[in-house]
Amino acid sequence: MAGVDKVIVFGLRAFHSGLWVPNEYIAAYAASDPDKVIGFGAIDPMVDPVEETLEEIVRLKLRGVKLGPIYQNIHPSDPRMLRVYEFCQANHLPIMIHQGTTFVRTGPLKYALPILLDDIAMQFPQLKMIIAHLGHPWIAETLVLIRKHPNLYSDISALHYRPWQFYNALILAKEYGVLDKILFGSDYPFTTPEAQMDGLRNINHVTEGTNLPRLTGEEIERLIYSPTLTCLGLESA
């Protein structure tokens, strides 16, 4: 992928939504360029045997786990999910979780609220979790969560499509003092890292001719060059 030094790639396993990416496929892709690509495995706790699937992820040398409760039709505190969190905490596997809305009509919004992760973070305080897309549209919930819990992070992927919301989200993050808990992401292949960088560098255009607050150039560049691997304990990848 052009424009980046390293990438984290993953698929999604969600039988309820008709999504099923084999972990072997992600592992093979990561192995094709190990200096650049870090693979995350995926698990659907509704249908996958939890321990066996997670052990396979480790055997495949994947470095984290992808979850999507709204796609999988499962509550984040379901006992099967708790087994995933317990394993990942014990094995130092960060979790990327889609805890936000979706266009999929069968996805239950009641399982998508970011605030549902508050109990999880308290029960598994050493577990590193990234809430995808700032938990869109529940962005304020996500920001107070990542402020509260040291090992909760979020990313800005898939947000530059909506410039006004993107601007307000990052200004609110600045006001809460959590810009350093927000990681860069692109939502590739739906967009590109270059487009996301352009969106960030042009984020203040909505303030032209106004007294609205702005992000500084330094703050924007820190978001682009966020220390994702250090935050997630993946520096040696």
Full set of structural domains in the chain with CATH: 7-231 (3.20.20.140)
What is the CB neighbour count within 10 angstroms for residue 222?
16
Token pair for 54: 């997670």
Identify the CA nearest to 140 among candidates 101, 176, 105, 164: 176
Question: Per-block average pLDDT, block size 10, for the chain (237 residues)?
Answer: 84 97 98 96 98 98 98 98 98 98 96 98 98 98 98 96 96 98 94 95 96 98 96 85
pLDDT at 2: 63
Q: Are 139 and 171 in contact (CB under 8 A)?
A: no
Q: In whole angstroms, what is the distance from residue 13 CA to residue 22 CA?
A: 8
Identify the CA nearest to 65 among candidates 50, 78, 79, 77: 50
pLDDT at 4: 85
pTM over 0.85: yes
Q: Are 185 and 232 in contact (CB under 8 A)?
A: no
Q: CA 197 → CA 16, 186, 225, distances in Å? A: 34, 9, 10
Instruction: Report the side by side order of strands in the sheet with 41-42.
Output: 41-42, 65-67, 95-97, 129-131, 152-155, 182-183
